[in-house]
């Protein structure tokens, strides 16, 4: 107990209490100059029932879903290949380097390549005198989310594939299964928890992303994170910002719980 | 096509996807022009970065200072907590684990917003101090879990043996448990360091005027006019990342 004291105290004081404050602020009244009046009100939540906000919510969900599906579909074969490769350590290092590279630099690299003044457009404009707008739409946001979070998906998948007993797959092959069948019937069910972990690691930060839609997305690709910041800074509406934060937090927790439960069931079977 | 072949092709494509944009940025950091058209080789943007970019260096030293301090605190508290959770018997363990998983699950932006509102409420001025507090907070659970996974690796009977041979609790801690978990402690420290230097979103909320970190500086440079100086910084940071990753290779297994 005494060893964990400093740790628990810090997390309670600087994590749990601030989160609880935000949850409670979502039920308070907005004060005239941006702060909070300490009286109960549902205005924070009511202000969210607008078409523009629901659009942003829906857009955030579909952008994150598509990005997560692509990320996991790319990560699975990559992790599988790395785990079975003789160059395992080296390939893993090649995945860890982008994982540890500053995320703003990775966003910047795409702006440098695909931006209106970017390298590809410099070439296109030389030839045709026009430029193509690659960025500032939801698909550019999806591309950069996939790019940013792909290592987050590969690493847990690699860990779970690496951990399973290779002889199981060999046994399946000996017993007459073909490679494709062994992959789907033996490997996939055994790495369910890895798939769940990597899905969570991609979907949640994608849903809450701020920098990517802010720098790569246009007016039509703003996400929940951008709306929270707008409510805090431009609209100075703390209850609304808190209400969005509360909804995002609750969504996240329910999602994680359902997903983990489902995976546990699958693994026990 | 067999899964083996398909996965090989996809892995190669993924690696190309990872490295092409970064590679282009590195190449163009040596370009002798402001626009992304190759004109000729030059160190112009490096000279610019080293001699004419005081504000970037200011942000850089802020980042390093906060990263070292928050990693030190996070690793110390995290290590003690890992030892406590591994070694001691007490009732609230389950709650400490839940408290450790929550910051990993809850989106960064929520942590940023809630800390901002918290600091404003208790009247603490936003500064490097608030950034330090925020970074320590999000590094703590990672540090604890990395050290904990290392502790699980070694044989508990060594501890019993130490007791049998007459070691006190304190001696066992300082002479056996801490040295044995040292690779984990080191991995935890480096993980916290990288998390802190990399963080943008949480820092964005809790930074005040004059307490800009490197990611915040890069963000404002991207927003308000791109100069190829960013290519030079990116290249240098990339080299730093590669060196760090290579030297940490041995310890990677404690991180994942």
pLDDT, tens digit, 9 for 90 and up, residues B129-175: 999 999 999 999 999 999 998 888 777 788 788 888 888 888 888 88
Q: How far apart are the first and last CA of chain B?
A: 31
Token code pair at residue B117: 């509102």
When CB atoms are compared, the residue of A21, A80, A208 closest to B114 is A21
Spatial separation of the C-alpha atoms in residues B61 and B67, rounded to whole Å: 10
Of B100, B223, B196, B195, which is closest to residue A210 (Cα–Cα)? Answer: B223
Q: In B, which residues are within 8 Å of A183 by CB distance? A: 3
Q: Measured in whole angstroms, how far is the alpha carbon of residue A76 from the centre of its chain?
A: 16
Tell me if A119 and B77 make a contact (CB, 8 A cut-off).
Answer: no
When CB atoms are compared, the residue of B99, B106, B249 closest to A89 is B249
Measured between CA atoms, how close is B54 to chain A, in angstroms?
Answer: 20
Which of B110, B119, B205 to mutate against chain A (most A CBs within 10 Å)? B110
Task: Report pLDDT for B256.
Answer: 63
Tell me how far CA of residue B133 lies from CA of A45, B66, B99, in angstroms: 30, 9, 17
To the question of pTM greater than 0.80 for the whole model, the response is yes
Tell how many helices (H) and how many strands (E) occur in chain B. Answer: 14, 0
Tell me how far CA of residue B238 lies from CA of A246, B129, B242, B245, in angstroms: 36, 27, 6, 10
Q: In A, which residues are within 8 Å of B234 by CB distance? A: 102, 105, 108-109
Q: What is the ipTM of this complex?
A: 0.90
Tell me if A11 and B103 make a contact (CB, 8 A cut-off).
Answer: yes
Contact call for residues B132 and B69 (beta carbons, < 8 A): yes
Q: In A, which residues are within 8 Å of B105 by CB distance? A: 200, 204, 252-253, 256
Measured between CA atoms, how close is A77 to chain B, in angstroms?
Answer: 5
List, in order, residues 6 or more apart from B256 with CB less than 8 Å away.
Answer: A155, A156, A158, A159
Spatial separation of the C-alpha atoms in residues B216 and B209, rounded to whole Å: 11
When CB atoms are compared, the residue of B14, B103, B230 closest to A78 is B14
When CB atoms are compared, the residue of B90, B117, B215 closest to A25 is B117
Strand segments, DSSP code E, in chain A are 28-30, 36-40
Tell me if A96 and B201 make a contact (CB, 8 A cut-off).
Answer: no
Token code pair at residue A266: 């699958």
How many CB pairs below 8 A link A and B? 253
Q: In B, which residues are within 8 Å of A253 by CB distance? A: 105-106
Per residue of chain A (269 residues), give pLDDT as tens: 688 999 999 999 999 999 999 999 999 988 777 777 787 888 888 888 889 899 999 999 999 999 999 999 999 999 999 998 899 889 999 999 998 889 999 999 999 999 888 889 988 988 888 888 999 999 999 999 999 999 999 998 998 888 886 777 778 777 877 777 777 778 888 888 889 889 988 999 999 999 999 999 988 899 999 999 999 988 888 999 999 999 999 888 887 887 777 666 655 54
Q: Measured in whole angstroms, how far is the alpha carbon of residue A197 from the centre of its chain?
A: 12
Q: Is B86 exposed, middle or buried (0-12, 13-18, 19+ CB in 10 A)?
A: middle
% of chain B exceeding 90 in pLDDT: 55
């Amino acid at each position: 107990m005494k060893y964990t004291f400093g740790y628990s105290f810090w997390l309670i004081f600087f994590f749990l209490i601030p989160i609880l404050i935000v949850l409670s602020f979502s039920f308070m009244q907005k004060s005239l100059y941006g702060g909070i009046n300490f009286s109960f009100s549902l205005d924070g939540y009511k202000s969210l029932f607008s078409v523009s906000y629901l659009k942003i919510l829906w857009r955030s969900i579909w952008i994150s879903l598509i990005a997560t599906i692509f990320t996991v579909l790319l990560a699975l074969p990559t992790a599988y290949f790395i785990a079975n490769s003789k160059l395992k350590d080296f390939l893993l290092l090649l995945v860890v380097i982008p994982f540890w590279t500053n995320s703003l630099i990775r966003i910047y690299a795409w702006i440098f390549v695909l931006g209106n003044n970017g390298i590809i457009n410099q070439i296109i404009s030389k030839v045709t005198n026009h430029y193509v707008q690659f960025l500032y739409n939801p698909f550019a946001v999806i591309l950069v989310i996939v790019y940013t979070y792909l290592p987050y998906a590969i690493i847990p998948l690699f860990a779970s594939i690496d951990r399973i007993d290779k002889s199981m797959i060999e046994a399946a092959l000996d017993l007459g299964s073909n490679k494709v069948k062994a992959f789907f019937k033996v490997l996939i069910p055994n790495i369910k928890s890895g798939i769940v972990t990597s899905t969570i690691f991609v979907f949640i930060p994608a849903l809450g992303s701020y920098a990517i839609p802010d720098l790569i997305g246009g007016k039509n690709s703003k996400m929940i994170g951008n709306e929270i910041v707008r409510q805090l800074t431009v609209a100075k509406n703390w209850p609304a910002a808190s209400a969005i934060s509360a909804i995002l937090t609750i969504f996240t927790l329910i999602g994680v719980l359902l997903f983990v439960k489902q995976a546990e069931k699958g693994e026990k079977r | 096509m067999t899964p083996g072949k398909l996965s090989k092709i996809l892995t190669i494509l993924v690696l190309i996807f990872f490295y092409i944009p970064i590679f282009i940025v590195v190449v163009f950091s040596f370009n002798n022009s402001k626009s992304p058209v190759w004109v000729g080789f030059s160190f112009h943007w490096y000279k610019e970065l080293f001699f004419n970019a005081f504000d970037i260096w200011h942000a850089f030293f802020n980042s390093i200072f906060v990263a070292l301090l928050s990693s030190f605190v996070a690793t110390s508290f995290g290590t003690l907590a890992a030892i406590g959770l591994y070694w001691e018997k007490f009732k609230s363990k389950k709650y400490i684990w839940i408290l450790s998983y929550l910051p990993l699950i809850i989106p960064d932006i929520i942590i940023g917003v809630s800390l901002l509102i918290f600091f404003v409420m208790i009247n603490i001025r936003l500064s490097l101090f608030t950034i330090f507090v925020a970074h320590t907070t999000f590094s703590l659970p990672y540090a604890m879990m990395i050290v904990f996974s290392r502790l699980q690796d070694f044989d508990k009977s060594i501890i019993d043996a130490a007791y049998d041979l007459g070691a006190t609790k304190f001696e066992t801690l300082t002479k056996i448990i801490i040295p044995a978990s040292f690779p984990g402690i080191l991995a935890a420290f480096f993980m916290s360091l990288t998390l802190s230097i990399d963080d943008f979103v949480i820092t964005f909320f809790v930074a005040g005027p004059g307490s800009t970190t490197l990611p915040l500086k890069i963000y404002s440079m991207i927003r308000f006019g791109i100069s190829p100086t960013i290519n030079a910084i990116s290249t240098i940071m990339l080299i730093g990342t590669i060196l760090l990753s290579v030297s940490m290779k041995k310890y990677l297994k404690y991180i994942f």
